Amino acid sequence: MGRSLWIMALVCGWLGVVGIGFGAMVNWENTPGEQGSPPARWPEASRIARTGRATLVIAAHEHCPCTLATLREISKVLRRSPDADVDVWAVIDGSEPSEVADAAAEFPWLHVLRDRDAAELRLFDGLTSGEVSLYGADGALRYHGGVTGSRGREGANPGAAALLSAILKHDGPRAAPVYGCAIQGGA
Amino acid sequence: MIPDDAAIEARAQALYEQHSTDVAMRTDRMFGMLIVAEWVVGICVALTLTPFSWHGHVASISPQMWAAVVPGSVLVIGALTTLLLRPGTRLSRHVIAIAQMGFGTLFIHLTGGRMETHFHIFGSLAFLAFYRDWPVLITGTVVALFGNVARGLFWPDATGALTALTTARVFEYAGWMSFEDVFLIASCVRGQTEMRAIARRVAQLEHASNLEALMEAAEESNRSKSEFLANMSHEIRTPMTAIQGYADLLMEPDTTESDRLEYVQTIRRNGEHLLRLINDILDLSKIEAGKMTVEHISCSPASVLVDVASLMRVRALDKALQFDVVYETDVPTTIQSDPTRLRQIVVNLVGNAIKFTERGGVRIAVRCERSDSADPRLRIEIADTGIGMTEEQIGVLFTAFSQADTSTTRRFGGTGLGLAICRKLAGLLGGEVTVQSTPGQGTSFFLDIATGPLDGVQMLTGYSEAGFQVEASPASDARHVDARVLLAEDGRDNQILITTHLRKAGAHVTMCENGRLAVQAALLANAGGTPYDVILMDMQMPELDGYGATRMLRTQGYKGPIIALTAHAMAGDREKCLAAGCDDYLTKPIDRATLVEAILRWHTPAPGQDASADVSDASEDEDEEMAELRADFAQRLPVIAGELDTAMDAGDEVQVRHIAHQLKGAAGGYGYPALSAVAHRVEEAARHGHDVAAAARTLLKAIREAR
């Protein structure tokens, strides 16, 4: 094999290794998490107090770094629907101080519920951090799914658009993939 | 394209390539450092934002963290390896472009697609433009777009920069990158154009600078020659002044006989000096024109040294200097060389040694080196205890027209040609002249020459200079010439002079005035069984010149020796005479010793005759006779001047040229070398179509003043 062919082969090999590495990362970012099946009507057993308005419940893993993007995307949705009457609740598993809990405290419109025993998460069947469920004032499920286009990535995406539509048009139910860490499982 | 332009273009191209390589190397180094920094920053960002991914309560290192470490490291390793192995090359530039855009992509993913990190991509393109090689920008753009296109293809719902990564968004992204590329490519092209312009300008300036250096060298050469001419003018004027002054004294009516003799000797001595000067110039011009040829005949180096010693010892003793010749080894009895040129070199070196030594002495040491080898050499060292020289002075010593410094010229005289001639002659003899000197202590010149093969050559052992003096041949001046000589010469004064020299040496001379008569006389003598032993043939004669006469004789089967006499001492004259059929060649003015030597070379005395016999008392008689001849010649000068005047008035250029030619040949022999030189100028003016009348007027004046 000639010298230039060797060089070409080395460069191709190098590009291949880089491509595989980056491919694995992008694939992970864009692979949706497992979604649960929340009840079609507001569960009366929930500890979240209803105020006669629509209620958005966000399932969150206390350490998942992707969840911050979900909160920011919901913040944008709320800005685009200023007249909407929606109570937003973040149900964060565990009770210890965490990055997600700290970040959640910075959103004034957000109510936080630390779900020490994960009972609330089980009630809404939240399996992936960032999985949201919107219930209308009438208690009917209007939207269920994620609000980011991939893991931890802000920006326009089908999930956020569907949520906004559900809030504004009071229709549904709608659904979209969710990207984030698995809340349940492990030890 | 003319050669200068081609040279400038070639130099400009070389400068441009050098500049491009410098730019590439510099930019390579910048990116080398930048990429390492980006690798570190990437890991830090991943550690801060997404170190882990979670599955319930179980944490694992996040794929983004892995990406920052593994593909990030691969990018760094690839880039740095290329920079180390192929710095400044096209390959390194493109690998750098890929790595840089790879880190841009990594940063976008690590920061969750933050809008600001997309600026890294655009900034990187601008950095890549530092290479001023636009294809690198294309590589960078392709790599950046590839990431977007691939994500859009495989994950159409993925978010791009804040919006969904639709096909339209991918194209828009590509459009903005291309927008930047257009400006950066234009910048690269302009940068290259400017680099080419700079390279061309620098090449032009360099060329101009070289021309300036050449001009300076030419001016320096010109200055050197001007200085030389000034020296020459001085050198010529000094003996000329003496000649004119003593000539005036000679004309005083109350001059005694002894004073008259002294004046004539002074005039002659100065004339000889002028002749030497002219010979030096001719020698140098011949050497520089590559026309100087040397003989390689069997000759005795010891005899040459004895000649030189006998000649130079008197001058050394005049200055109360010690003068020794030492033979440090056995020397060959004969070597293959040119004795005349060898003598010329040694005389010059010894002459210099005596000239520059005020106290102490001059020593000639001779040794034969490598006598058993295939290339034996003879080394002659001329050492003095004179003023010595500095390294700087030695540096210009052998340069023609230069002396150690101009003050040397003023103090010691000389033309500054001697050593240049010596070195060149030594080269022609297969050797060299070198020098060692210490200021204030003295100088040693080393003449090394090739001896030719020494197989079978007898080596002389245990001899001394004195021994050679005994063996030395008697001076030619005093040698007897028992020969019948036919002299073909049209000039009356030369006829008288040469005939007198030959008759005083014992020869029987028959004279004829042109080539045709010479041919008749020679063939008649042959037919009569009493051939001439030697024919002296002037080469420029009326009716039939010497060339034609010689050719005619050779055509008729004439075998006897013919010696050419010519007033031309230029390169090629000798060859021209020999080509015509002559056996030897003498230049006018004719020196008696040279004349006798030439006759004896071609006519060996019959057995029993002693070439040196019966002339022991000749010298005094000769002086008297020569003095009479010179007086006769001096008396004829007004007649010659009258003839010249008449010819000039009549506009008879042929006659003017004839008179000049005759005078050129004769005047030198009668001790009027300056007159001979002026006559030569008339001939030259006629030959080159210059103003003959002006030259003739100068000659007329010179003749009248010479009287």
Q: What is the pLDDT of residues A7-18, one digit of tens each?
A: 889 999 999 999
CA B691, B696, B697, B699 torsion-angle sign: positive
Q: What is the pLDDT of residue B474?
A: 42
Of B661, B678, B675, B647, the C-alpha closest to B270 is B675
Q: CA A88 to CA A98: how far, in whole Å?
A: 19
Neighbour count for residue A67 (Cβ, 10 Å): 29
Question: Cα dist. B182→A121, B117, B135, B179, B189 in Å?
Answer: 54, 22, 12, 5, 11
Q: What is the pLDDT of residue B401?
A: 57
pLDDT in tens, B315-336: 787 788 888 888 888 888 889 9
Q: Does B67 touch chain A (CB under 8 A)?
A: yes
CB contact under 8 A, A29 and B147: no
CB proximity list for A171: less than 8 A, separation 6 or greater: A142, A165
Taking residues B369-394, report their average pLDDT: 88
Separation in Å, CA of A154 to nearest CA in chain B = 6
> Does A66 score more than 80 pLDDT?
yes
CB contact under 8 A, B162 and A30: no
A177 contacts on B by Cβ (under 8 Å): 157
Q: What is the pLDDT of residue B469?
A: 38
Q: Does B52 touch chain A (CB under 8 A)?
A: yes
Taking residues B209-229, report their average pLDDT: 81
Residue type, B338: D
CB contact under 8 A, A182 and B56: yes
CB contact under 8 A, B162 and A154: yes
Q: What is the pLDDT of residue B408?
A: 55
Q: CA B188 to CA B186: how far, in whole Å?
A: 5
For chain B, positions 80-119, list CB contacts with chain A under 8 A.
Answer: 91, 95, 98, 102, 105-106, 109, 112-113
pLDDT in tens, B608-617: 444 444 444 4
Dump the DSSP string for B174-227: HHHHHHHHHHHHHHHHHHHHHHHHHHHHHHHHHHHHHHHHHHHHHHHHHHHHHH
Q: Does A187 touch chain B (CB under 8 A)?
A: yes
Q: What angle do CA B270, B274, B276 make, to 5 degrees?
A: 115
Q: Which residue of B has its CA nearest to A63?
A: B54
Q: CA B679 to CA B664: how far, in whole Å?
A: 5
Separation in Å, CA of A44 to nearest CA in chain B = 26
CA B357, distance to chain mean position in Å, is 30
Taking residues A45-52, report their average pLDDT: 92
A149 contacts on B by Cβ (under 8 Å): 157-159, 164-165
Question: Cα dist. B405→B385, B409, B413 in Å?
Answer: 19, 7, 11
pLDDT in tens, B493-551: 788 888 888 888 888 999 898 899 999 999 888 888 888 999 999 988 878 889 999 99
Q: CA B666 to CA B675: how far, in whole Å?
A: 9
Q: Which residue of B has its CA nearest to A17?
A: B71
Predicted confidence band of residue B411 (pLDDT cuts 50, 70, 90): low
Q: What is the pLDDT of residue B316?
A: 82
A25 contacts on B by Cβ (under 8 Å): 63-64, 66-67, 71, 109
Q: Which of A12-26, B49-63, B656-670 has the least mean pLDDT?
A: B656-670
Q: Which residue of B has its CA nearest to A10?
A: B78
Please state, rounded to an integer, the average pLDDT across all residues of chain B: 83
pLDDT in tens, B458-495: 887 655 544 333 333 344 455 678 889 999 988 877 88
The ipTM of this complex is 0.90
CB contact under 8 A, B50 and A65: yes
Token pair, residue B412, equals 């010691």
Q: What is the pLDDT of residue B415?
A: 59
> Does B139 score more than 80 pLDDT?
yes
Predicted confidence band of residue B585 (pLDDT cuts 50, 70, 90): confident
B150 contacts on A by Cβ (under 8 Å): 26
- Interface probe with A: pick from B54, B148, B165, most Cβ of A within 10 Å: B54
Give the one of A25, A177, A185 whose C-beta lies nearest to B109's C-beta: A25
Question: Cα dist. B638→B353, B493, B633, B634, B647 in Å?
Answer: 45, 14, 10, 8, 14
Question: Cα dist. B687→B649, B658, B681, B691, B692 in Å?
Answer: 20, 12, 10, 10, 9
> Does B606 score more than 70 pLDDT?
no
Separation in Å, CA of B207 to nearest CA in chain A = 39
Per the CB < 8 A criterion, the answer to whether B569 and B586 are in contact is: no
Q: What is the pLDDT of residue B93?
A: 94
Q: Three-state SS across B57-74?
A: CEEEECHHHHHHHHHHHH
Per the CB < 8 A criterion, the answer to whether B672 and B494 are in contact is: no
For chain B, positions 162-201, list CB contacts with chain A under 8 A.
Answer: 162-165
Give the one of B95, B106, B164 whose C-beta lies nearest to A157's C-beta: B164
Give the one of B64, B102, B112 whose C-beta lies nearest to A69's C-beta: B112
B63 contacts on A by Cβ (under 8 Å): 24-25, 28-29
Give the one of B71, B151, B164 whose C-beta lies nearest to A156's C-beta: B164
CB contact under 8 A, B164 and A152: no
Buried b (16+ CB within 10 A) or exposed e, B537-555: bbbbbeebbbbbbbbbbee
CB contact under 8 A, A63 and B54: yes
CB contact under 8 A, B160 and A30: no
Q: What is the pLDDT of residue B413?
A: 53
Q: Does A177 touch chain B (CB under 8 A)?
A: yes
CB proximity list for B252: less than 8 A, separation 6 or greater: none
Token pair, residue B101, equals 């855009």
Of B79, B190, B78, B178, the C-alpha closest to B133 is B190
pLDDT in tens, A51-60: 999 999 999 9
Separation in Å, CA of A187 to nearest CA in chain B = 6
Separation in Å, CA of B134 to nearest CA in chain A = 20
Separation in Å, CA of A14 to nearest CA in chain B = 7
CB contact under 8 A, A156 and B161: no
Q: CA B579 to CA B565: how far, in whole Å?
A: 14
> Between B648 and B589, where is the model more confident?
B648
Predicted confidence band of residue A185 (pLDDT cuts 50, 70, 90): low
CB contact under 8 A, A129 and B54: yes
Taking residues B572-591, report their average pLDDT: 83
Q: What is the pLDDT of residue B680?
A: 79
Of B167, B112, B162, the C-alpha closest to B145 is B167
Question: Which residue carries 């009895």 as its tokens?
Answer: B333
Q: Does B64 touch chain A (CB under 8 A)?
A: yes
Within B61-166, residue ranges assigned H as helices are: 63-85, 90-110, 118-128, 134-154
Question: Which residue carries 């004034």 as its tokens?
Answer: A108
For the ranges A92-106, B651-665, B674-688, the one whose mean pLDDT is highest: A92-106
pLDDT in tens, B430-462: 999 999 999 888 999 999 999 988 888 888 765
Q: What is the pLDDT of residue B91?
A: 93
CATH topology of domain A54-176: Glutaredoxin (3.40.30)
Q: What is the pLDDT of residue B392?
A: 84
Give the one of A22, A29, A148 whose C-beta lies nearest to B105's C-beta: A22
DSSP-derived 3-state class of residue A45: coil
pLDDT in tens, B542-561: 788 899 999 999 998 898 99
Taking residues B690-706, report their average pLDDT: 80
